[in-house]
């Protein structure tokens, strides 16, 4: 590639049985966060060389239940809880975006890092939960609706660094996209910085910012 105009970090797994990536990361932390961190870092030179770039990381309302356990990110020393691991990975998405936005601004880069979440969308993301599969037809939007917040962050006008978009109705489950709030933990500069440092070490990818 000669340039990259848009990067959407949207790979994801949700509440699988306990498992690890081949690198030894808890699967959800590895796929949902570390993989995106590494991909963004590896594409950074192309992103910085292109005008008007956006980087959008896809999080979830589940981030509100998340807490960073920096001493045991991979559930090696505690009983694995799929929901807690998922929430931690989705909180990581927002902390990564916040720190990336700060670093890009400090470097004077013409790149906007933002986040989005799809609300409740009918996809196979929930394949590991029978309950979610049964409830999908009742509460979930069609994928075209769930994609709108990400498209808003990626292509809409007036998007600022570290903006966060999600559905506008019924606890951010459905509706047209709008800017939405985040948990207090997702606003922690200290946690964002610490996660960044750990992610550089664990992924082996350093950002030249």
Active site residues: 86
Inter-residue contact 143 to 122 (CB < 8 Å): yes
Cα–Cα dist 50/48, whole Å: 6
How many CA atoms, within 13 angstroms, populate the side-chain half-sphere of residue 36? 29
Q: How many CB atoms lie within 10 A of CB 68?
A: 17
Q: Which helix (H) or strand (E) element contains residue 6?
A: strand 6-9
Q: How is residue 47 written in tokens?
A: 């992103």
DSSP codes joined into one string, 137-157: HHHPBPHHHHTHHHHHHHH-T
Q: Which of 204, 19, 18, 199 is nearest to 93 (CA)?
A: 199
**Is the separation of the CB atoms in 116 and 136 below 8 Å?**
no
CA end-to-end span of the chain? 21
Q: Return the closest-CA partner of residue 149 out of 182, 132, 112, 174.
A: 174
Distance CA 116, CA 10 (A): 10
């Amino acid at each position: 590639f000669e340039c990259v105009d848009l990067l959407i970090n949207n790979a994801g797994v949700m509440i699988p049985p306990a498992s690890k990536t081949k690198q030894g990361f808890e699967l959800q932390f590895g796929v949902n966060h570390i993989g995106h961190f590494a991909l963004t870092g590896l594409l950074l030179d192309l992103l910085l060389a292109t005008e008007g770039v956006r980087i959008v990381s896809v999080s979830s309302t589940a981030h509100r239940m998340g807490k960073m356990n920096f001493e045991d990110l991979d559930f090696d020393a505690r009983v694995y809880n799929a929901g807690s691991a998922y929430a931690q990975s989705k909180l990581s998405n927002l902390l990564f975006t916040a720190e990336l936005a700060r670093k890009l601004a400090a470097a004077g880069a013409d790149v906007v890092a933002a986040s989005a979440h799809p609300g409740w969308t009918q996809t196979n993301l929930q394949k590991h939960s029978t309950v979610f599969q049964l409830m999908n037809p009742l509460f979930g939007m069609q994928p075209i609706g769930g994609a709108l917040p990400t498209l808003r962050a990626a292509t809409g006008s007036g998007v600022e660094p570290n903006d966060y978009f999600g559905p506008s109705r019924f606890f951010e489950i459905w509706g047209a996209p709008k800017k939405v709030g985040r948990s207090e933990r997702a606003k922690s500069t200290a946690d964002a910085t610490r996660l960044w440092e750990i992610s550089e070490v664990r992924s082996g990818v350093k950002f030249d910012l």
